[in-house]
Structures are given as C-alpha cells and as structure tokens.
Amino acid sequence: MKGLVLKSTGSWYLILGDDGKEYRGRARGKLRLDDVRTTNPIAVGDGVLFEMEAQSQEDDLVNIHEILPRRNYIIRKSNNLSKQTQIIAANMDLVALVVTMATPATSTGFIDRFLLTAEAYHIPALIVFNKIDIYGEVESALLQEYERIYEKIGYECIQVSAIRGTNMNELRDKLRHKTTLFSGHSGVGKSTLMNALDPHIAQKTAAISTYSNKGKHTTTFAEMFLTENECRLIDTPGIKDFGVVNLDKHELAHYFPEMRSRMQGCRFNDCLHTEEPNCAILAAVESGEIEPSRYYSYLSVLNNEDIHH
C-alpha cells in the first residue's frame, strides 16, 4: 500500500494511507538512501510503500519497505558536534519563514540563511511577517525596511496577525493546494499562526502527542497537518537554524538571487566576491544595488566552517 508520512519520531512514523486511514510504521531492515548521509532515512512528506506487520495483533502497525522518489528535501546538521545530517521534510512546494520585529526579533542574518537554504534545495520561499498588531513606530518602520529589502530581491512577503486574523485569508490563498514547511525562531507565533489557519490543528496536535509516546524521541520532530482548506502544513518545532551542508564556496553566490544575476560581470570565473579586481558583486554593493546586510550574510556563510574550501 502507498502512504504519506505525517510525522517522524525517530524509529516510528505516522502514515496516512491511500485508504484514508492512519498507520503506525517502522522501517523494515536497512532502509537508507545512497545520496544522503542522514540520521533519519524517512522524513515527513515522504511517499512510502508499506505492508501490514504480519506478527502484530494491532491493525494499524505496518512495515515500510520503500521510499518513493523525492522531488526535493531540506536538511540540517543533527547537532553542533555531529557531522551527520537530519532530513527535516521532503516533497515541499513552499517554505514559509515566520518573522517578527520584536518578542523575539528576527535578524536579517537568520532570514538570509533560511532563504539561502531554500534556494540551495530549489524550494520557493515566502516571508510571513507576524504580530503586526503589537508593533509601535520603530518596529513598523523596521518591518517596512525588511519588506523593501526582500521584495526588491524577488521574495514574496505578507504581513499578518495570527491573534487578530489580519490577512489570514490572503495567507490561506497562498498556501492552498501546497505542501508548506513553516519555520522561525521560538516565540514568533508559529503554532498560533497554524492554529489560526485551521483550528482543527490544535486538536490533531494533542492526538499526535499521544502517538509520539509510543516511539523513540530525537531532538526535533516535524509533523504534517492536512487542513480543511486543502493546505498541507509542516510544523518544525525547535529548529533554530537551517545549515547548508556540503556546499562548495564557489557555489554560494548562486543562492543569492541578486548576486546570481550579476556574476557573469565578474572578471574571474572563480571570483569569491571578496577582494578580487573588477568584481561585479563588489561594485553592486558599493553602488547600493545589493543591500549591505545581504552581502554581510554572504560573507558570514562563506567563512563558516561548514562551507567546503
């Protein structure tokens, strides 16, 4: 039977079968993907083939024997000390970053790393500015500046208030018929936002928490919710950063759209856009065509130890 993985808790998975029923599954044997070295071979959003566990007395227990081909996936480092990676989710149509100007404040550096990761894995990104109901003049002005920076590059932005329901219908329209992964700092109102998109999510969260106790826990679990308005929302609690793994330093600028469009103007093909002569990127930064904050984010990632030199 074919199914969709709704939740991963280490060695156990919650699967929605093609028959509309939910099953508890585990991988049969060594189920690994050749091209991804990861702590979890099966991820939320994966399509899988499974069969009933013959020896089980429970009618919802199954064995997963194959992962169907992925359109895309997104990964992060398992932890700061580990060289292994964790697949956060697979087969997404959109990634949505929830951003707030206060309580907590989201930095442009965090936004840029998130967008870089989305670009690297070829997934469109949406920036959702939440909590607009609590901002004063300073925060509102900062929000306008953020929106200017990212819309200029070509990223879609939307301002919402999950508490007051401001622009929530517009957000639903953007998510309809799509599988969307939500991320953001703890406290940006991600859970409130998802509950506002569909009140039934709160009920499903309580039910799945009971299921989770049957499985082995790891640091972070993603889970997918199928809403009544035809959205598939993936929540990622506890993720503070998306690390781009095994990225070559010469590829980095390709994932900044405003740099990608100007790279052909550089004198050297292997230009790193730091101090080389006749660099089109440096010229664009100096002229203000490329935002300084974006260029600083580029340098920060370039000098990160995760980038291959």
CB 178 within 8 A of CB 139: no
Q: Please tell me the least confidently modeled range out of 56-60, 67-71, 108-112, 291-295.
A: 56-60
* Residue 290 structure tokens: 């490329």
The H or E element containing residue 281 is helix 280-287
**Domain parsing of the chain, residue ranges:** 2-67, 73-235, 247-308
Fold of 247-308: Ribonucleotide Reductase Protein R1; domain 1 (1.10.40)
Q: Is 288 exposed, middle or buried (0-12, 13-18, 19+ CB in 10 A)?
A: exposed
Q: What is the pLDDT of residues 143-170, one digit of tens each?
A: 999 999 999 999 999 999 999 999 999 9
> What architecture is domain 2-67?
Beta Barrel (2.40)
Total-model pTM: 0.87
pLDDT of residue 215: 36
Per CATH, 2-67 and 247-308 having the same topology is answered no
pLDDT of residue 29: 67
Fold of 73-235: Rossmann fold (3.40.50)
Q: Is 85 helix (H, G, I), strand (E, B) or coil?
A: strand
